[in-house]
Structure 1
């Protein structure tokens, strides 16, 4: 089982106990406003998403980690890697992404988890490039991407929703851990 510890977090594969707390995160309109078209997800949609995330682990050897707080064991969201099949214009790049519950924003958890995922991508999976797809007004995610050393590369459009997306990228062959 793939698990990574940071000073404050445990990044791990998904368990059945994660469904309810992740569905609560996905049901928050503030959390979801920058995801796809901003629609919230219900319990069933969250269960389907977690199943897809776990399938990606099996198919690709990487995926989205469940992120929990050390000590309390609370699930606070996810951070990880995925293949952005919905946006063929960036393929074959792998996307680094994160989503945390609102009560965990502004505490550095997203940056801590994402930095750990970036190192996992480079050191454990041998990836040489990552992208992050961010809606232009999502300043918090732009901030996390820039903290990772990612730079704005170009703007594109979400093919399903017609929304602008900024592509941030990092060449891991030049990355210094």
Structure 2
């Protein structure tokens, strides 16, 4: 399955037309504040990222979906599943993640998209556990994680940048309950 429709969103594979709007999202300091070292990403870095995301689909059978608003066809950002290779202690778990442009914040899109990604992971891909990794202090992401029913599992430190992270987790029995 490479497309999922929710009441307001289409989660789908990446298209050429997605590059510029995703680069705009990645170029926003407000969006990138909690991502990696906090630096913005340009068009070239975004193109490389989309290529990696598509490769993960081919290699793992899951990846990051482009998130499109059904009503307008606008690209809101991404959600989906990835291997958290930047944090070896979280491996081999699969992580659910998201990144949306600020104009799409506060409307429940992140929760709706991530929920659909979790259902895809647990029901269609047969995964029995998911994690999500958030920087401590990123209250908006913590709120989404609570809505998704993910529980804090442990705190750790980013191996490259040294800031505190919190790993959240959920298993299939908790998700279906």
Do they fold alike, i.e. is TM over 0.5?
yes
Residue number in structure 2 paired with 1:145: 145
Does 1:79 find its partner at 2:79? yes
Q: In 1, Cα distance between the equivalents of 2:56 and 2:119?
A: 19
Residue number in structure 2 paired with 1:157: 157
Q: In 2, Cα distance between the equivalents of 1:25 and 1:75?
A: 10
Query: Which stretch has the larger CA shift, 151-160 or 16-25?
Result: 151-160
Does 1:118 find its partner at 2:118? yes
Does 1:17 find its partner at 2:39? no
Residue number in structure 1 paired with 2:37: 37
* TM-aligned CA deviation for residue 174 of structure 1: 3.1
Q: Deviations over 1:78-121 (max 9, x none)?
A: 00000011111011100000000000000000000000001000
Aligned residues: 177
Q: In 2, Cα distance between the equivalents of 1:175 and 1:89?
A: 23
5+ residue gaps, structure 2, are: none
Instruction: Report if the CA contact (8 A) 1:79-1:96 is conserved.
Output: yes
Q: In 1, Cα distance between the equivalents of 2:25 and 2:167?
A: 25
| Segments ≥4 residues shifted beyond 3 Å | none
Does 1:99 find its partner at 2:99? yes
Q: In 2, Cα distance between the equivalents of 1:80 and 1:37?
A: 21
Q: In 1, Cα distance between the equivalents of 2:70 and 2:124?
A: 22
Q: In 1, Cα distance between the equivalents of 2:109 and 2:20?
A: 20
Q: Deviations over 1:41-92 (max 9, x none)?
A: 0000000000000000000000000000002110000000000111110111
Residue number in structure 2 paired with 1:5: 5
Instruction: Report if the CA contact (8 A) 1:154-1:168 is conserved.
Output: yes
- Secondary structure of 1:41's counterpart equals coil
Q: Scaled by the length of structure 2, what TM-score is found?
A: 0.98
* TM-aligned CA deviation for residue 147 of structure 1: 0.7
Q: Scaled by the length of structure 1, what TM-score is found?
A: 0.98
Instruction: Report if the CA contact (8 A) 1:129-1:173 is conserved.
Output: no
- Secondary structure of 2:39's counterpart equals coil
Q: Deviations over 1:129-159 (max 9, x none)?
A: 1111000110010011111110001111111
- Secondary structure of 2:176's counterpart equals coil
* TM-aligned CA deviation for residue 172 of structure 1: 1.6
